[in-house]
């Protein structure tokens, strides 16, 4: 099942996304947020609407997380390209919910930063309350679905500050979308690609994670309660780089779609 966030008659809604004659369309209005149904999207109540092509809809971020938990340096080659050691255990940080941005929304390069980078990632949306998972406990029942995330980063401020809250937390620094799906299998491997102005900058695969989703959810849940709707950004492949005003960033996750956002100066 796939769903998106979108605006209809000036109001935010969630919608069921289905392929109709080979074109992805919003076919039904979901009557409550997907994360409120205990992690089973198939049981969501909905009502019929006139179909809206996904590419023509005014899309919104398809998540409303209480927190955004991010994983740093989860691909070996990305750690190396920034001159960092491969972490011995997951390296976690937060982005505030105020950094969320929907598909098509404008990323603002802040005046405080001279270098703003893209970081394309697989996002994991939590579907069930998750705390202190057992060592052998299966994490899949706690996952509602998957999406695309751009972990936009003020790289110069990250290096200057030493801790990452400011560099990762500016408004518009967490584009998410275009939809959430439970129809992919990151354990089997899905591709993650970033393009800037149509040029490929990053190509990775979830098979190359240093820490699998099993490890990540177990590790995070030992420290904090993950609640339905929370978002986990799982790390970025090598190839990160700066963007300038006028650039268009596209993050694609195989089986999810493409998250596209333009860049402007604040």
pLDDT reported for residue 15: 97
Residue with token string 């949306």: 125
Got the DSSP string for the chain? -EEEEEEETTEEEEEEEEEETTEEEEEEEESS-GGGGTT-GGG--EEEEEEEETTTS-EE-S---S-EEEEES-SHHHHHHTT-PPPSS-EEEEE-GGGEE-TTPPEEE-TT-S-EEE-EEEEEEE-S-B-S--TT--SGGGEEEEEEEE--EEHHHHHHHSS-HHHHHSTT-EEEEEEEES---TTT--EEEEEETTEEEEEEEGGG-SS-HHHHHHHHHHHS-B-TT-EEE----S--EEE-TT-EEEEEETTTEEEEEEEEE-
Angle formed at CA 256 by CA 97 and CA 228, multiple of 5 degrees: 40
pLDDT reported for residue 81: 79
Two tokens, residue 146: 């998957």
Q: Which residues of the chain have pLDDT under 70?
A: 39-40
C-alpha–C-alpha distance, residues 120 and 240, integer Å: 8
Q: Compute the chain's Rg from CA coordinates.
A: 18
C-alpha–C-alpha distance, residues 161 and 98, integer Å: 20
Q: How many other C-beta atoms are found inside a 10 Å radius of the C-beta of residue 55?
A: 10
pLDDT digits (tens, 9 = 90+) for 136-147: 999 999 999 999
pTM of the model: 0.96
Tell me: cis bond preceding 178? Omega within 30 of 0 counts: yes
Smallest CA-to-CA distance from 260 within 243, 246, 248, 245 is with: 248
Q: Burial of 85 by CB count in 10 Å (0-12 exposed, 13-18 middle, 19+ buried)?
A: exposed
pLDDT reported for residue 39: 63
pLDDT reported for residue 255: 98
pLDDT reported for residue 82: 73
> What are the residues whose beta carbons fall under 8 Å from the beta carbon of 238, sequence distance 6 or more?
75, 77, 78, 80, 81, 202, 204
Two tokens, residue 74: 């989860």
């Amino acid at each position: 099942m796939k769903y998106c966030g979108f605006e209809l008659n000036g109001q935010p809604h969630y919608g069921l996304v289905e392929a109709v004659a080979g074109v992805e369309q919003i076919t039904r209005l979901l009557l409550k947020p997907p994360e409120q149904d205990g992690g089973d999207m198939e049981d969501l109540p909905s009502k019929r609407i006139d179909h809206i092509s996904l590419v023509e809809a005014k899309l919104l971020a398809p998540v409303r997380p209480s927190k955004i938990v991010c994983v740093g340096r989860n691909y070996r080659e990305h750690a190396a390209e920034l001159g960092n050691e491969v972490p011995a255990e997951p390296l976690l940080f937060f982005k505030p919910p105020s950094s969320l941005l929907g598909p098509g929304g404008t990323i603002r390069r802040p005046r405080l930063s001279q270098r703003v980078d893209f970081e394309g990632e697989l996002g994991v949306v939590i579907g069930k309350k998750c705390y202190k998972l057992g060592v052998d406990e299966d994490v899949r029942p706690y996952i509602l679905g998957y999406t695309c995330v751009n972990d936009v980063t003020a790289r110069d401020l990250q290096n200057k500050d030493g801790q990452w809250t400011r560099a990762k937390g500016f408004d518009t620094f967490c584009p998410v979308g275009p939809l959430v799906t439970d129809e992919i299998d990151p354990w089997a491997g899905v591709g993650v690609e970033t393009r800037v102005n149509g040029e490929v900058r990053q190509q990775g695969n979830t098979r190359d994670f240093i820490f699998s989703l099993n490890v990540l959810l177990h590790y995070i849940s030992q420290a904090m309660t993950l609640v339905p709707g929370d978002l986990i950004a799982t790390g970025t492949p090598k190839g990160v780089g700066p963007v300038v005003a006028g650039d268009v960033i596209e993050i694609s996750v195989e089986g999810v779609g493409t998250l596209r956002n333009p860049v402007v100066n604040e």
